Amino acid sequence: MDATNATADDAERTVRRVVDRIEEAAVVDREVLHAMLSATLARGHVLLEDVPGTGKTVTARVIAEAMGLEFTRLQFTPDLLPSDVTGSTIYDEQAGEFEFAPGPVFTNVVLADEINRAPPKTQAALLEAMEERQVSVDGTTYDLPDPFLVVATQNPIEQEGTFRLPEAQRDRFSVKTSLGYPDLEGEMGLLERRANRRSLSPSVEPVASPDGVRLLQALAEEVTVDEKVRRYIVEIARQTRADQRAEIGVSPRGVQRVFEAARAAALIEGRSYVTPDDVKRLAGPTMAHRIVLTTEATVEGVDGTAIVRHAVNAVDVPAVAPGPDDPEPMIDSGTESAAADGDGPDAASGRDATDPHGGATEADRRDESWHGE
């Protein structure tokens, strides 16, 4: 992809090659992969919450390999120190001076495996790295490589000996999603791929490079977002704050992350503009983990996805038109809700979007999740 005249179509072709290469080695739902790549091109970070053995590590590694990025896996444990993440200053006896030894965070893609197993002080060591793309050790600041992506994982089932991520840490992640179990064909494909290789873990050849990824990220910054779509994002976020089941709704930082991820999602689709469907598609993965529930809602089994789903259904979808230079018309959704257009789980269930609980039973609200979340 030529940096001098790259277009959204070029970006779409590049991302398609990356996706095809990833799917050679890993079985990942397209919606989940779309969300993860949107976060990557938006210079964000990803939190994967899933049970062991669903391919979180493999997925993170093959994404890095397909994009030609350096990859490091860091296993978080209760005895892990902040310096084990960022690096430390050591004394060089031969040179007779102190020098900085970079930690594993100095790479393009960092897999923070089981991040909730490390104590809060070590978790916080990632905060500056994730937000500022730098670390400070002994009063000196060191820049991290560019691109830089953190993919953190945590197990939602086994909570003994874990330290729950604080809200400030969760808010640093652009996207929180779950791989889930593959379908029958997916698991059969896994076995076929394992039968055709000699190594335990799959690997792929790169189809992009760090320069190419930086170019894609720059192109995402040029994607236009109509004022009506911007207001749509803000109104959904404000609706989550007004929900009585939420003690804290989506933050202003969260609004910006949705905006950035939607631009990246449009680029992945080969468009230079954002549609309301881009926002709806990413609303769950980008907003739900930022919501702090009330005690009553937690006891009732409500989760953040239910609140986001209700907010999306409660806000009218704007009718927007393409700009004069746009080759394709943007979707004109009128005032249809997510349930009406078949994008959300409510469309299949026929639940009342005006009901704050969506007409679901407590078991439904506890078990169902946003598609790709």
Calpha distance 190→23 (Å, rounded): 11
* Number of structural domains in the chain: 2
**Same domain, yes or no: 125 and 250:** no
**Same domain, yes or no: 251 and 114:** no
Q: Of the candidates 210, 231, 254, which is a domain's last residue?
A: 210
What is the per-residue pLDDT for 326? Answer: 54
Instruction: State the DSSP code for 250.
Output: -
What is the per-residue pLDDT for 361? Answer: 40
User: Under a CB-based contact definition with an 8 Å cutoff, are residues 50 and 176 in contact?
Assistant: no
Instruction: State the DSSP code for 319.
Output: B
Q: Report CA Rg, the chain.
A: 21
What is the per-residue pLDDT for 160? Answer: 65
Instruction: State yes or no: cis peptide before 206, omega within 30 of 0.
Output: no
**Same domain, yes or no: 68 and 131:** yes
> Any idea what the CATH number is for the domain that residue 248 is in?
1.10.8.80
Largest CA distance in the chain: 73
**Which among 178, 174, 254 is positioned nearest to 217, based on CA atoms?**
174
Q: Which CA distances in Å does 236 have to 61, 84, 97, 99, 254?
A: 34, 40, 55, 49, 11
Calpha distance 221→240 (Å, rounded): 27
Classify burial at 332, counting beta carbons within 10 Å of its beta carbon; exposed 0-12, middle 13-18, buried 19 or more: middle
45 three-state secondary structure: coil
> Would you tell me the crossing angle of helices 276-287 and 304-314 to the nearest 10 degrees?
160
**Same domain, yes or no: 199 and 234:** no
**Same domain, yes or no: 106 and 238:** no
Q: Tokens for 2, please give them.
A: 């030529």
203 three-state secondary structure: coil
Residue 350 lies in a domain: no
Residue 332 lies in a domain: no
**Same domain, yes or no: 149 and 247:** no
**Same domain, yes or no: 40 and 151:** yes
Predicted structure pTM score = 0.79
Provide the domain limits for residue 303. Answer: 223-317
**Same domain, yes or no: 283 and 139:** no
**Same domain, yes or no: 56 and 202:** yes
Query: How many residues are there in the chain?
Result: 373
Q: Of the candidates 291, 317, 343, which is a domain's last residue?
A: 317
Counting Cα atoms < 13 Å in the Cβ hemisphere of 26 gives 29
Buried-state track 266-304, b at ≥16 Cβ within 10 A, e below 16:
bbbbbbbbbbbbbbbbbbbbbbbbbbebeeebeeeebbb
Calpha distance 170→148 (Å, rounded): 17
Residue 349 lies in a domain: no
Q: Tokens for 199, please give them.
A: 């190594």
What is the per-residue pLDDT for 162? Answer: 73
> Any idea what the CATH number is for the domain that residue 116 is in?
3.40.50.300
Q: Which residue ranges of the chain lie beneath pLDDT 50? A: 327-373
